[in-house]
Protein backbone atom coordinates (compact mmCIF):
# COMPACT_ATOMS: atom_id res chain seq x y z
CA UNK A 1 0.00 0.00 0.00
CA UNK A 2 1.33 3.45 -0.89
CA UNK A 3 2.47 5.56 2.06
CA UNK A 4 0.83 8.93 2.54
CA UNK A 5 3.51 11.47 3.29
CA UNK A 6 1.37 14.43 4.32
CA UNK A 7 -1.19 15.27 6.93
CA UNK A 8 -4.34 16.74 5.36
CA UNK A 9 -6.29 19.33 7.32
CA UNK A 10 -8.86 21.75 6.02
CA UNK A 11 -12.12 23.54 6.49
CA UNK A 12 -15.18 24.40 4.45
CA UNK A 13 -16.61 27.69 5.67
CA UNK A 14 -20.04 26.91 4.12
CA UNK A 15 -22.25 30.01 3.74
CA UNK A 16 -20.31 31.94 6.35
CA UNK A 17 -17.67 34.69 6.01
CA UNK A 18 -17.67 37.48 3.44
CA UNK A 19 -14.63 38.12 1.26
CA UNK A 20 -13.16 40.53 3.82
CA UNK A 21 -13.76 38.05 6.65
CA UNK A 22 -12.25 35.22 4.63
CA UNK A 23 -9.15 37.32 3.87
CA UNK A 24 -8.70 38.16 7.56
CA UNK A 25 -9.17 34.48 8.48
CA UNK A 26 -6.56 33.35 5.95
CA UNK A 27 -4.08 36.00 7.06
CA UNK A 28 -4.44 35.02 10.69
CA UNK A 29 -4.24 31.29 9.93
CA UNK A 30 -1.17 31.90 7.76
CA UNK A 31 0.57 33.85 10.54
CA UNK A 32 -0.37 31.22 13.13
CA UNK A 33 0.97 28.33 11.08
CA UNK A 34 3.90 30.01 9.32
CA UNK A 35 6.46 27.84 11.12
CA UNK A 36 4.83 24.54 10.10
CA UNK A 37 6.56 23.00 7.08
CA UNK A 38 4.10 22.57 4.24
CA UNK A 39 5.96 19.57 2.82
CA UNK A 40 4.34 17.46 5.52
CA UNK A 41 1.12 19.44 5.93
CA UNK A 42 -1.58 20.07 3.34
CA UNK A 43 -3.60 22.90 4.80
CA UNK A 44 -6.66 23.94 2.81
CA UNK A 45 -9.57 26.32 3.11
CA UNK A 46 -12.78 26.17 1.09
CA UNK A 47 -14.55 29.53 1.31
CA UNK A 48 -17.67 30.93 -0.35
CA UNK A 49 -17.62 31.54 -4.11
CA UNK A 50 -17.70 35.31 -3.80
CA UNK A 51 -14.62 35.16 -1.56
CA UNK A 52 -12.51 33.12 -3.95
CA UNK A 53 -10.82 35.85 -5.94
CA UNK A 54 -9.70 37.74 -2.83
CA UNK A 55 -9.00 34.51 -0.98
CA UNK A 56 -6.66 33.28 -3.72
CA UNK A 57 -4.13 36.05 -2.97
CA UNK A 58 -4.30 35.62 0.78
CA UNK A 59 -4.19 31.81 0.63
CA UNK A 60 -1.16 31.76 -1.65
CA UNK A 61 0.73 34.09 0.69
CA UNK A 62 -0.17 31.86 3.63
CA UNK A 63 0.77 28.50 2.08
CA UNK A 64 -2.86 27.41 2.18
CA UNK A 65 -4.54 25.56 -0.70
CA UNK A 66 -7.78 27.04 -1.93
CA UNK A 67 -10.93 25.08 -2.60
CA UNK A 68 -14.41 25.68 -4.01
CA UNK A 69 -17.53 24.29 -2.34
CA UNK A 70 -19.11 23.01 -5.55
CA UNK A 71 -18.71 23.09 -9.33
CA UNK A 72 -20.89 22.62 -12.39
CA UNK A 73 -19.76 19.83 -14.74
CA UNK A 74 -19.99 21.75 -18.03
CA UNK A 75 -17.41 24.27 -19.19
CA UNK A 76 -20.08 26.79 -20.15
CA UNK A 77 -23.71 26.97 -21.21
CA UNK A 78 -27.22 27.92 -20.15
CA UNK A 79 -26.85 26.79 -16.51
CA UNK A 80 -28.05 29.69 -14.42
CA UNK A 81 -26.45 29.81 -11.00
CA UNK A 82 -23.75 27.23 -11.75
CA UNK A 83 -20.01 27.90 -11.59
CA UNK A 84 -17.87 26.35 -14.30
CA UNK A 85 -14.45 24.71 -13.96
CA UNK A 86 -12.99 27.43 -16.19
CA UNK A 87 -14.18 30.09 -13.76
CA UNK A 88 -12.67 28.25 -10.82
CA UNK A 89 -9.41 27.79 -12.65
CA UNK A 90 -9.26 31.49 -13.44
CA UNK A 91 -9.32 32.40 -9.75
CA UNK A 92 -6.70 29.85 -8.70
CA UNK A 93 -8.75 27.10 -7.10
CA UNK A 94 -6.97 23.78 -6.47
CA UNK A 95 -9.51 21.65 -4.62
CA UNK A 96 -13.15 21.13 -5.60
CA UNK A 97 -15.43 19.84 -2.87
CA UNK A 98 -18.04 17.47 -4.28
CA UNK A 99 -21.08 15.93 -2.62
CA UNK A 100 -21.08 17.54 0.82
CA UNK A 101 -24.02 16.14 2.77
CA UNK A 102 -25.73 19.53 2.74
CA UNK A 103 -25.78 19.35 -1.05
CA UNK A 104 -26.75 15.67 -1.21
CA UNK A 105 -29.41 15.76 1.47
CA UNK A 106 -30.40 19.43 1.53
CA UNK A 107 -30.35 20.08 -2.21
CA UNK A 108 -30.98 16.61 -3.61
CA UNK A 109 -27.71 15.96 -5.42
CA UNK A 110 -27.28 12.38 -6.61
CA UNK A 111 -24.33 10.03 -6.86
CA UNK A 112 -24.58 10.34 -10.64
CA UNK A 113 -24.19 14.12 -10.40
CA UNK A 114 -21.25 13.76 -8.03
CA UNK A 115 -19.69 11.46 -10.61
CA UNK A 116 -20.10 14.04 -13.39
CA UNK A 117 -18.49 16.66 -11.17
CA UNK A 118 -15.65 14.38 -10.06
CA UNK A 119 -14.76 13.44 -13.62
CA UNK A 120 -15.01 17.04 -14.75
CA UNK A 121 -12.76 18.17 -11.89
CA UNK A 122 -10.14 15.57 -12.78
CA UNK A 123 -10.31 16.50 -16.47
CA UNK A 124 -9.53 20.07 -15.55
CA UNK A 125 -6.67 19.20 -13.23
CA UNK A 126 -8.40 19.99 -9.94
CA UNK A 127 -8.20 17.85 -6.83
CA UNK A 128 -11.73 16.55 -6.23
CA UNK A 129 -12.60 16.19 -2.57
CA UNK A 130 -15.44 13.69 -2.78
CA UNK A 131 -17.53 13.62 0.40
CA UNK A 132 -19.29 10.39 1.34
CA UNK A 133 -21.21 9.33 4.40
CA UNK A 134 -24.26 7.48 5.63
CA UNK A 135 -27.31 8.98 7.36
CA UNK A 136 -28.29 8.09 10.91
CA UNK A 137 -31.06 5.81 9.62
CA UNK A 138 -28.64 3.98 7.35
CA UNK A 139 -26.23 3.54 10.25
CA UNK A 140 -29.02 2.12 12.42
CA UNK A 141 -30.02 -0.24 9.64
CA UNK A 142 -26.44 -1.55 9.61
CA UNK A 143 -25.79 -0.58 5.99
CA UNK A 144 -23.11 2.10 6.43
CA UNK A 145 -20.46 0.26 4.45
CA UNK A 146 -22.93 -0.60 1.70
CA UNK A 147 -23.90 3.07 1.37
CA UNK A 148 -20.26 4.14 1.25
CA UNK A 149 -19.59 1.50 -1.36
CA UNK A 150 -22.44 2.74 -3.56
CA UNK A 151 -21.42 6.39 -3.17
CA UNK A 152 -17.84 5.54 -4.08
CA UNK A 153 -18.56 3.11 -6.90
CA UNK A 154 -21.00 5.48 -8.60
CA UNK A 155 -19.19 8.68 -7.64
CA UNK A 156 -15.90 7.36 -9.04
CA UNK A 157 -17.29 5.52 -12.05
CA UNK A 158 -15.10 6.10 -15.09
CA UNK A 159 -12.17 7.43 -13.04
CA UNK A 160 -8.94 5.70 -14.04
CA UNK A 161 -6.26 4.34 -11.74
CA UNK A 162 -3.96 7.06 -13.08
CA UNK A 163 -6.40 9.75 -12.04
CA UNK A 164 -7.13 8.17 -8.67
CA UNK A 165 -3.88 9.44 -7.15
CA UNK A 166 -5.29 12.95 -7.54
CA UNK A 167 -8.39 12.28 -5.48
CA UNK A 168 -9.14 13.17 -1.89
CA UNK A 169 -12.01 11.49 -0.06
CA UNK A 170 -13.82 12.88 2.99
CA UNK A 171 -15.74 10.46 5.18
CA UNK A 172 -18.43 12.61 6.74
CA UNK A 173 -21.24 10.66 8.41
CA UNK A 174 -24.36 12.80 8.02
CA UNK A 175 -25.38 12.20 11.64
CA UNK A 176 -22.04 13.61 12.84
CA UNK A 177 -22.13 16.92 10.97
CA UNK A 178 -23.19 20.28 12.32
CA UNK A 179 -24.53 21.66 15.59
CA UNK A 180 -26.84 18.69 16.20
CA UNK A 181 -24.19 16.16 15.16
CA UNK A 182 -22.48 13.63 17.40
CA UNK A 183 -18.86 12.95 16.45
CA UNK A 184 -18.05 9.41 15.38
CA UNK A 185 -15.99 7.43 17.86
CA UNK A 186 -12.44 6.82 16.74
CA UNK A 187 -13.17 3.08 16.41
CA UNK A 188 -16.22 3.69 14.24
CA UNK A 189 -14.35 6.20 12.06
CA UNK A 190 -11.44 3.77 11.68
CA UNK A 191 -13.73 0.95 10.53
CA UNK A 192 -15.43 3.15 7.93
CA UNK A 193 -12.10 4.51 6.69
CA UNK A 194 -10.89 0.95 6.27
CA UNK A 195 -14.06 0.11 4.36
CA UNK A 196 -13.53 3.11 2.07
CA UNK A 197 -9.92 2.10 1.49
CA UNK A 198 -11.00 -1.40 0.53
CA UNK A 199 -13.31 0.04 -2.14
CA UNK A 200 -10.57 2.33 -3.47
CA UNK A 201 -8.17 -0.60 -3.71
CA UNK A 202 -10.82 -2.71 -5.41
CA UNK A 203 -11.43 0.06 -7.93
CA UNK A 204 -7.88 1.23 -8.58
CA UNK A 205 -5.50 -1.43 -7.27
CA UNK A 206 -3.13 -1.40 -4.29
CA UNK A 207 -0.95 1.51 -5.37
CA UNK A 208 -3.43 4.00 -6.79
CA UNK A 209 -6.15 2.93 -4.38
CA UNK A 210 -3.79 3.42 -1.48
CA UNK A 211 -2.63 6.86 -2.58
CA UNK A 212 -5.79 8.92 -2.08
CA UNK A 213 -6.03 10.44 1.41
CA UNK A 214 -9.21 9.75 3.39
CA UNK A 215 -10.14 12.57 5.74
CA UNK A 216 -12.61 12.36 8.61
CA UNK A 217 -15.19 15.12 9.06
CA UNK A 218 -18.11 15.57 11.45
CA UNK A 219 -17.96 17.55 14.70
CA UNK A 220 -14.19 17.41 14.93
CA UNK A 221 -12.99 19.60 17.79
CA UNK A 222 -9.94 20.10 19.95
CA UNK A 223 -10.90 17.24 22.23
CA UNK A 224 -11.40 14.51 19.63
CA UNK A 225 -8.98 15.59 16.88
CA UNK A 226 -5.88 13.91 18.40
CA UNK A 227 -7.57 10.54 18.97
CA UNK A 228 -9.06 10.56 15.47
CA UNK A 229 -5.81 11.40 13.73
CA UNK A 230 -4.03 8.71 15.72
CA UNK A 231 -6.12 6.04 13.98
CA UNK A 232 -4.14 4.24 11.26
CA UNK A 233 -6.69 4.71 8.46
CA UNK A 234 -7.46 8.38 9.18
CA UNK A 235 -5.25 10.47 6.89
CA UNK A 236 -6.55 13.89 7.76
CA UNK A 237 -9.37 16.00 9.17
CA UNK A 238 -12.04 18.04 7.45
CA UNK A 239 -13.38 20.46 10.04
CA UNK A 240 -16.35 22.80 10.08
CA UNK A 241 -17.31 24.94 13.05
CA UNK A 242 -14.23 24.31 15.19
CA UNK A 243 -11.96 25.65 12.43
CA UNK A 244 -13.71 28.90 11.64
CA UNK A 245 -11.82 30.76 14.31
CA UNK A 246 -8.23 30.86 13.04
CA UNK A 247 -6.76 30.66 16.55
CA UNK A 248 -8.82 27.61 17.46
CA UNK A 249 -8.01 25.98 14.12
CA UNK A 250 -4.33 26.64 14.77
CA UNK A 251 -4.58 24.94 18.19
CA UNK A 252 -6.14 21.85 16.61
CA UNK A 253 -3.49 21.77 13.89
CA UNK A 254 -0.71 22.05 16.48
CA UNK A 255 -2.25 19.30 18.58
CA UNK A 256 -2.35 16.84 15.70
CA UNK A 257 0.80 17.65 13.69
CA UNK A 258 3.12 15.98 16.25
CA UNK A 259 0.97 12.85 16.12
CA UNK A 260 1.58 12.49 12.40
CA UNK A 261 4.35 10.08 11.64
CA UNK A 262 3.34 9.23 8.11
CA UNK A 263 1.21 6.24 7.29
Residues marked as catalytic: 100, 172
> Taking CB under 6 A as the rule, does residue 220 contact ligand PEP?
yes
Minimum separation from the CB atom of position 131 to ligand PEP (A): 7
Q: Degrees (nearest 5) of the Cα angle 16, 22, 25?
A: 110
Longest Cα–Cα distance of the chain, Å, equals 49
Nearer to ligand PEP, 72 or 181 (CB): 181
3-state secondary structure of 81: coil
Q: Enumerate the β-bridge partners of residue 97.
A: 129
> Taking CB under 6 A as the rule, does residue 177 contact ligand PEP?
yes
> Taking CB under 6 A as the rule, does residue 25 contact ligand PEP?
no
| Binding mask of the shown chain, residues 89 to 118, with x at each position contacting ligand PEP by CB under 6 A | -----------x------------------
| Binding mask of the shown chain, residues 234 to 263, with x at each position contacting ligand PEP by CB under 6 A | ----xxxx----------------------
> Taking CB under 6 A as the rule, does residue 216 contact ligand PEP?
no
Minimum separation from the CB atom of position 237 to ligand PEP (A): 9
d(CA 206, CA 113): 27
Q: Are 99 and 109 in contact (CB under 8 A)?
A: yes
Tell which residue, 71, 93, 104, 64, has the closest CA to residue 243: 64
Q: Are 88 and 71 in contact (CB under 8 A)?
A: yes
- For ligand PEP, the binding residues (CB under 6 A) are 12, 100, 172, 177-178, 181, 217-220, 238-241
Amino acid sequence: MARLDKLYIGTNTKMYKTGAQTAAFLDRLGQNTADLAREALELFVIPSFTSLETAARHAAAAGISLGAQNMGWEDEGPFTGEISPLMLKEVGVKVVEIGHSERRHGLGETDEQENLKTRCALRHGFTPLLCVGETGDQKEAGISDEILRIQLKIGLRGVTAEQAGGLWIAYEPVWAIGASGVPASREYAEERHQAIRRVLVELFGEDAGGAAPILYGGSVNRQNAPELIAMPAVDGLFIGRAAWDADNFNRIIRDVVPLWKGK
